[in-house]
Amino acid sequence: MSEASPARSSPASPWAIARRRFLGHWQAMLGLAVLIVLGLLSLLSPLIAPLDPSVDLANRLQAPSAANWLGTDDAGYDMFRLLLAGSRVSLLIGFLSVGIAITLGTVVGAVAGYAGGRADALLMRIVDLFLSVPRLVLLITAVALLRPSIALIVIVLGLTGWMGVARLVRGQVLAVREREHVLAARALGYRPLRILFRHILPNVLTPVIVAATLGIGNAILAEAALSYLGLGVQPPDTSWGLIIFSGQDRMLDAWWITAFPGILIALTVMAFNLVGDGLRDALDPRHAQ
């Protein structure tokens, strides 16, 4: 390892160093490649492979073939197109719900960690309360009481997924707020919110980015579980979990209806986890090895 020389001319920001390390992480690159292909297919699917909404009973339950690469389901839909349509919903739910969870968790954790005292105690008891209720039970209750919709699933997944982030951020803020540069910022008369959002939070974001990436995989799994139980996405919308749900009666004679969305879920979640691990290794070198 070489000492950073004081007069090094190339302006290597911490981000540039992390980027180089990330790009050299082959597992993460593999995961990223999977996500890029999936993301592009998903985004472009209305153009390249739109789903014909009419039921085609003459063509139902076809095994994979040249005409239908992944077969057809029991309404005659092409599985490939159906899965792409489902991917849009599954990924959307994954990203949006994690977006809510990360935002909420970061704000709660940051305020608790920086304010300390009674605010901290109160916020952390709320976290404990949320953590003590099994997520799926909360999900099922919410969906049973209200009409299931994509928006509801996003909100409920977001509202049940923020506690880990809150704890993570709180711990990091507690550590960073004792650093001398935060004292220096206070000695300069900066306002508490400026100190929190400009001088503390950017220093705790890296584990949050990792948590977000790993969280998307989890949210996709949760959505699949919910839709599989019939409490998630409702037709005419579709998602990977819903496709598995619709095919479970035909698992023996039409295995492709359940197998392909299952494989796709596993592949996607694994890809997010690989990218998440790669980000962790790149952003927090102490963690690697």
Partner 1 sequence: MSDALLAVTNLRTVFRTDRGVVEAVRGVSFELAAGETLGLVGESGCGKSVTAMSLTRLLREPPATILPGSSVRFRGEELLDASPARLRRIRGAGIGMIFQEPMTSLNPVLRIGDQVAEAIREHAGGDRGAVRARVIELLGRVGLPEPAERYSAYPHQLSGGMRQRVMIAIALAGGPDLLVADEPTTALDVTIQAQILDLLADLQRELGMALLLISHDLAVVSQVADRVAVMYAGRIVEQGRVPGLFRAPGHPYTRGLLRALPRLDTPPGPLPAIPGRVPDPRERLAGCPFAPRCPEVMSRCETDDPPAFPTGTGTARCWLREGEA
20 binding partner 1? (CB under 8 A): no
| Rounded least distance, CB 202 to partner 1, Å | 5
| Rounded least distance, CB 186 to partner 1, Å | 6
| Rounded least distance, CB 174 to partner 1, Å | 12
Instruction: Report how many residues bind partner 1 under the rule CB under 8 A.
Output: 25
14 binding partner 1? (CB under 8 A): yes
Identify residues 180-199 at the interface with partner 1 (CB under 8 A).
180-181, 183-191, 198-199
Cα-to-chain-centroid distance, residue 246: 24
Nearer to partner 1, 147 or 286 (CB): 286
Nearer to partner 1, 122 or 133 (CB): 122
HEC per residue, the chain = CCCCCCCCCCCCCHHHHHHHHHHCCHHHHHHHHHHHHHHHHHHHHHHHCCCCCCCCHHHCCCCCCCCCCCCECCCCCEHHHHHHHHHHHHHHHHHHHHHHHHHHHHHHHHHHHHHCHHHHHHHHHHHHHHHCCCHHHHHHHHHHHCCCCHHHHHHHHHHCCCHHHHHHHHHHHHHHCCCHHHHHHHHCCCCHHHHHHHHHHHHCHHHHHHHHHHHHHHHHHHHHHHHHCCCCCCCCCCCHHHHHHHHHHHCCCCCHHHHHHHHHHHHHHHHHHHHHHHHHHHHCCCCCC
Nearer to partner 1, 81 or 177 (CB): 177
Residue of the chain from 13, 54, 132, 289 that contacts partner 1 (CB under 8 A) = 13
Site string for partner 1, 199-228 (x = CB under 8 A): x--xx-------------------------
Identify residues 114-173 at the interface with partner 1 (CB under 8 A).
116-117
6 binding partner 1? (CB under 8 A): yes
| Rounded least distance, CB 133 to partner 1, Å | 33
| Rounded least distance, CB 7 to partner 1, Å | 8
Site for partner 1, rule CB under 8 A:
4, 6, 8, 11-14, 116-117, 179-181, 183-191, 198-199, 202-203
